[in-house]
A = this chain, B = another copy of it.
Amino acid sequence: MERLLLHEYSASGNCYKVRLTAALLGLPLERREYDILNGETRTPEFLANVNANGRIPVLQVGDRFIAESNAACYFLADGSALVPQDRFARAEMLHWMFWEQYNHEPNIATLRFWISFMGEDKLSEAQRAQLDGKRAAGEAALKLMDAHLATRPFLVGERPSLADIALYAYTHVAEGGGFRLAEYPGVGAWLDRVRAQPGYVPIGA
């Protein structure tokens, strides 16, 4: 494969997804860090050359770029055992990945960022008005995962897929957003199963 370079902010769960996918697949990945709190992904150079959307992660493949964490993971894992070969199972995996970006990340990751990275005293009025809604929606997301995982080892089928990587990233650090993982034992056992995968790397590595 061509040279792989991850443009990232390493504490971001979205960036960690790409690193974890590469690690589980044994793919070498170079890394370049950006300080998102100081606007380093909104510079004219970044917008023109890396991602017009001004966000990380972006996976650079040779001289081409793929933004959106779950798309970058899909690129790395396409054709591997992390993407089910069965058509229905592959769609189920994508279902969890889209659900993650719509129902999980905007609540759990955003509260983690607001509380643990920005600080509650720095929130705007519009952000403050969303705290209760995001708390309830994040709890609903964890409850839904917990019920699903109560009877299954992984989100889709009998072995890990990109769905597990996409959802592990912000679930395992959800306490940084004020969520209590002890209330979701099915999720807790699943987190342990993901952590036990050969090649696993922690978010701080």
Contacts and interface: CB of A to CB of B under 8 A. Distances in A.
A126 interface: yes
A14 to B, nearest CB: 10
A86 to B, nearest CB: 10
A87 to B, nearest CB: 5
Contact of A98 (B68, B78, B95, B147): B68
A53 B101 contact: no
Interface stretch (A22-30, A129-137, A175-183, A185-193): A129-137
A150 to B, nearest CB: 12
Nearest to A64: B88
Nearest to A66: B91
Contact of A70 (B64, B78, B98): B98
Interface string A128-159: 01101100000000001001100000000000
Interface in A74-111: 74-75, 78-79, 87-88, 90-92, 94-95, 97-99, 101-103, 105-106
A102 B101 contact: yes
A52 interface: yes
B70 A94 contact: yes
B95 A147 contact: no
Contacts of A72: 91, 95
A67 interface: yes
A19 to B, nearest CB: 17
A144 B53 contact: yes
A125 interface: yes
**A-B pairs, 7 with minimum CB distance:** A75-B91, A71-B95, A129-B129, A68-B98, A71-B94, A68-B95, A126-B129
8 contacts: A53-B103, A66-B91, A68-B99, A70-B98, A71-B94, A75-B91, A78-B91, A126-B130
